Chains A and B, each alone.
Chain A
Amino acid sequence: MILRLQTNAGTLTNFEVLDFLRSRGASTDSTRVIANVAPSEFQVYDYLVQSAARNQTRESIDEFLTSWVKFDPAKAEKLNLINIKPSPAIEIDSIVENCEQRMGNEDEALVKMIIEMLPAPGKPEGTNEDPTEVVADQEAMEAVLPPSTKPRGTNEEETVETVGDQDSVQTLSFSTVTIYLYVV
């Protein structure tokens, strides 16, 4: 029987998942057959490696988050920005609600800041996955979004509701294990 103790025990950015897989031994070269990583995990690794997360480091993400604090972004917006790393100002518009109202003329400067901070030049160090450190990261992100207090556009409300639902502790117990076989 599966019992879900916590449906959402923390959000992970793409970089964190990539780091976790790397610490398990995943890589793109030919030593992958020896690594302790399943083929399905390798598919996820391949996707992440060619996404924006490949050049990020923990420090660059921290820097990025502290510099964005003054615009008061929601958790979902920060996650989207870190994962997607949008470059022209127009892409930011689809991620950040009410872009012009909140940022006005500063969005050019912001875009430059994103480009500088997010892809760190050179190879990222293989940081060992320290569970307590990652939990602290997630708690910092969790603390930002109290679900109902901030007024947002309709898109964001949907997001908030979905995240809010998932946050509540669900203790559904199943009499039979409900796993669907995912046919790739």
Chain B
Amino acid sequence: MFFLSLIKHTLRLPPHLLNLPLDQAIKGELETLFLDKVIANLGLCVSVYDIRNIDGGFIFPGDGASTFTVNFRLIMFRPFVGEVLSGEVEESDAKGLRLSLGFFKDITLPAHLLPNPSKFGEDGKWTWDFNGTELPIEKEDEIRFKVNSIRYPPIPVEQEKDAKPFAPMVITASIDFDGLGPISCVYANVTTNTSNEHLFSLEGESFGFFDGVTLSKACKC
């Protein structure tokens, strides 16, 4: 989910920060500049990890501020294709679902990547119809999903008035595989035998023990 990226940047340090020790001032400037912003093809910047090198300190003519060339590492959030993540449902409509990870909310789950016999109910919830058992996807469910693709759409030049706010990084997710989907649904598909009972007790969480449910693993979840 997280990577380190090494970046070199020419940073202008405003004069009002001259009283601070240099590395603190530079770190503060870098944080204002990069934190919580998306860099194309690198991902969402989460944090400044460390500063490797500070060079320069020249003052250009006509300018009151000094300019430094800084080498530093940023922690970037950029999941790879095929990574399994878990997040919550934020919005659900006829075109699919939108999931969120708390700090990142632009994860779309389009309708065609939901497991096959799913339908959209009138109350706004998607329900997965598995062999007659209905498994609804509720709003507070924690959902395991697999990353299908990541796109960085270009900044639009104009937007209509009521358009959704521009999302610079969009992750497309899919739950059409074994072991994915709302956590409650995943556990409903495990064949029950004594070793699994052992597993549930080891986990220490209290799932209703699905008595008599023997959905085989061969059925695609």
Question: Which residues on A are within 8 Å of B, measured CB to CB?
Answer: 1-14, 16-17, 20-21, 24, 38, 40-41, 43-44, 46-47, 51, 76, 79-80, 83-84, 86-95, 108, 111-112, 115, 131, 138, 155-156, 158-159, 162-163, 166, 178-184
25 A-B residue pairs with CB within 8 Å: A3-B8, A4-B7, A5-B8, A6-B5, A16-B2, A20-B49, A40-B35, A40-B36, A41-B35, A43-B102, A44-B47, A76-B80, A76-B83, A83-B85, A90-B178, A91-B144, A92-B179, A95-B84, A159-B80, A162-B80, A178-B40, A179-B39, A180-B40, A180-B169, A183-B167
Q: What CA separation (Å) do A177 and B38 show in the bound complex? A: 12
Question: Known contacts A47-B103, A115-B203: does B36 contact A93 (CB below 8 Å)?
Answer: no
Residues of A within 8 A of B85 (CB): 83-84
A131 and B166: CB pair below 8 A? Answer: no
- B6 A5 Cβ-Cβ under 8 A: yes
Q: Which residue of A lies closest to B148 (CB)?
A: A158
A11 to B102, alpha carbons, bound, how many Å?
21
Cβ–Cβ < 8 Å partners of A178 in chain B:
39-40
- Alpha-carbon separation in the docked complex, A10 to B74 (Å): 11
0 or 1 for each of B12-51: is its CB under 8 Å from A? (1 = yes): 0000000000000000000101111111111010110110
Whether B179 and A94, one on each chain, are in contact in the complex, defined by CB atoms closer than 8 angstroms, is yes
Question: Could you say which of A9, A83, A86, A156 contacts B82, with CB atoms under 8 Å apart?
Answer: A156
Chain A proximity mask over B167-208: 1 for CB below 8 Å, otherwise 0? 111000000011110000011011000011001001100000
Given contacts A5-B71, A20-B47, A163-B80, contact A88 B187 (CB under 8 A): yes
Q: How many residues of chain B have a CB within 8 Å of chain A?
A: 65
| A163 surroundings in chain B (CB, below 8 A) | 80
Task: Please give the residue numbers on chain B whose beta carbons come within 8 Å of chain A beta carbons, in ascending order.
Answer: 1-10, 31, 33-42, 44, 46-47, 49-50, 71, 73, 75, 77, 80-86, 101-103, 105, 144, 146, 152, 155, 165-169, 177-180, 186-187, 189-190, 195-196, 199, 202-203, 217, 221
Cα(A98)–Cα(B84), bound, Å: 16
Inter-subunit contact A179/B1 (CB<8 Å): no
Given contacts A17-B46, A131-B50, contact A2 B9 (CB under 8 A): yes
Q: Does B177 lie within 8 Å of A94, measured CB to CB?
A: yes
* A91-B103 in contact (CB<8A): no
Q: Which one of B50, B75, B77 has the greatest number of beta carbons of chain A within 10 Å?
A: B75
* A-B CB proximity, top 3 nearest: A180-B168, A40-B36, A91-B179
